[in-house]
Structure 1
Amino acid sequence: MDFYKMQGIGNDFVFIEDFNNEIQEECELAKKVCDRHFGIGADGLVIVRKSDLANAKMVIINADGSRASMCGNAIRCFGKYVYEHKIVKDLKFSVETGDGVKEIEIILEKDKVKYVRVYMGKPSYAGADIPLVNMENLIGKEITVDGKTYKMTTVLMGVPHTIIFQENEEYDVIADGSKLEKLPMFKEGSNINFVKIIDKTHIRVDTWERGAGATLACGTGCSASVVVAKKFGLVDNIEEIFVKAPGGELVIEVLGDDVHMKGPAEVVFQGKITI
């Protein structure tokens, strides 16, 4: 099977094409190819398919075999992939995801893809959307787990993200994130983002992703973190906020209720894998 390995500021994915829907047991395939010792190694598997709703369809499966409805870094890589492989021809096109149809814009520099800009949709704090168990919302609420208190806000930004601002206490992404991901209040689990405000236009985000663990970047998590930081007045109410993740930087634009993400995507290598 032919594959491409791609990364978006350190969040890495294996890309394969399946235009005739021939792949069986795709969740098991994801676990195999994403294994960093016995496979290619990645945070997730991305399958490129035809769509009846958009110009192309993105299916993403986490490294542990669980399905994800949306991933910001993956969809930037997806945009670059389908453009450079001439699956789409225009600089603006649509992609079907598990979170609906997303609008993509390719930004060129000297005829090369420099950035991919993605319309991420509108955030929701509604407990039914996230979904939360018997909770109308989770906004600025203090939750104590194993004697440690966390002030948490959860928002749906394609997938559920819980935001914790690092103010007077430092958090460990692995130790704290793995503990909070599957709290009983989260019906389907939650990604956990630890956010540090650098200044009024810059923040840092470290993310524990459900199904993948601590990653070098999370596009939906960076988007959600900006949305919540704006809600609490922790950053300026301007369009562009710069977000630093361990793997690099993204630009998040909030235009009213609409969220856009802009950043790079790179091909790491290509090859064949026996399955």
Structure 2
Amino acid sequence: MYFTKMHGCGNDFIVINDLENKLNNLSELASKLCHRNFGIGADGIICVKRSSLGDIRMEIINADGSYAAMCGNGIRCFAKYLWEKDIVKKDKINIETGDGIKIAHLNINNNKLENVTINMGSPEFEPDKIPSLSSEKVIDKAIEVGNKKYNITSLLMGVPHTVVFGKLNDFNVEEGKVIEKYNLFPQGTNVNFVEIVSREEIRVMTWERGAGATMACGTGSCASVVAGNTLNLLGEKVKVHVPGGILQIEIQDNKVLMTGSAEISFEGVCEI
């Protein structure tokens, strides 16, 4: 099987062309390939599939074999892969995901793809959409988990996200493992610890459901900006520093636009 190893701000993926729909048991395949010691190593695998709804379909499986409806860094890598491999040679691509159609705008200069802007859609705070067992929206809600108190804001940004504001030095990203399983979230939640630098700049570290601590999380960066804007802590255009790089997030007419890089690390062949 041929594969391409890619990353968006250090959030890494194994991208596989499965237009002929030959791959079976993607969950088992992801667990095997993503292992950092015995496999290629990645936060997840991304499969290129045919779509009857858009130009193409993206299917993402986390490193632990669980399905992900959407991934912000992953979809930028996916868009670059489509362009580089001449699968969809357009500067605007309609990509079918588990969270509906996402539009990728490829920023191309002199026939070179510089970065990708994704329309991530609208955030959703309604508890049943996240899902959350709360009877009201989870906005700046005080909870106690593992003998530590947090104020959380939770929303659906393609996938469930919970945002905690404070100084990053006051948190260990591993704390996200406990919050992920908090009884308020029947399907778990991704967790973002956010430090505000200014109304236009933040620093984020994320614990991803199904992958653990990652170098970057696109949906998490979007969720962090939306949460901060909702609490009147941030403006509508924010530079987000993640461990692996920088993302630009903009809220526009209740839609969230994310711009960032996507890079090919290497290509290879493996036996499955």
Q: How does 1:30-109 map to 2 (within 5 A)?
A: 30-109=30-109
Give the count of matched residue pairs: 272
**Structure 1 gap ranges (5+):** none
Query: Is the contact between residue 168 and residue 195 of structure 2 (CA under 8 Å) also seen in structure 1?
Result: no
Alpha-carbon separation, structure 1, partners of 2:224 and 2:171: 16
Structure 2 letter corresponding to 1:207: T
Could you tell me which residue of structure 2 aligns to residue 196 of structure 1? 195
Distance 2:29 2:135 in 1: 36
The one of 245, 269, 273 aligned to 2:270: 273
Change in 2 beyond 3 A, CA 1:169/1:32: closer
The alpha-carbon deviation at position 167 of structure 1 amounts to 4.8
Partners of 2:233 and 2:249 in 1: CA distance: 15
Secondary structure at 1:268 match in 2? strand
Do 1:45 and 1:62's aligned partners in 2 also have CA atoms closer than 8 Å?
yes
- Secondary structure of the residue aligned to 2:23 is coil
**Partner of residue 164, structure 2:** 164
Q: Displacement of 1:134 after TM fit? A: 4.7
Equivalent AA in structure 1 for residue 217 of structure 2: C
Same amino acid, percent of matched pairs: 47
Matching of residues 86-235 of structure 1 within 5 Å: 86-167=86-167, 170-174=170-174, 176-235=175-234
CA-based RMSD: 1.1
1:252 counterpart residue number: 249
1:8 aligns with 2:30: no
Partner deviation per Cα, 1:150-183 (whole Å, 9 max, x = no partner): 0000010000100000159711001x11111111
Give the residue type in structure 1 aligned to 2:223: A
Q: Counterpart of 2:256 in structure 1: which amino acid?
A: V
Distance 2:190 2:141 in 1: 17
1:216 and 1:49 map into 2 onto residues whose CA distance is 26
SS in structure 2 of the partner of residue 241 of structure 1: strand
TM-score (norm 2): 0.98
In the TM superposition, what whole-angstrom CA distance separates every residue of 1:123-143 from its partner, at most 9, and x where no partner exists?
A: 011001000125332111100
Query: In the alignment, residue 217 of structure 1 is paired with which amino acid?
Result: A
Query: Do the aligned partners of 1:128 and 1:136 also contact (CA within 8 Å) in 2?
Result: no
Question: Deviations 1:15-48 (Å, cap 9, x if unpaired)?
Answer: 1111121111110000000001111000000000
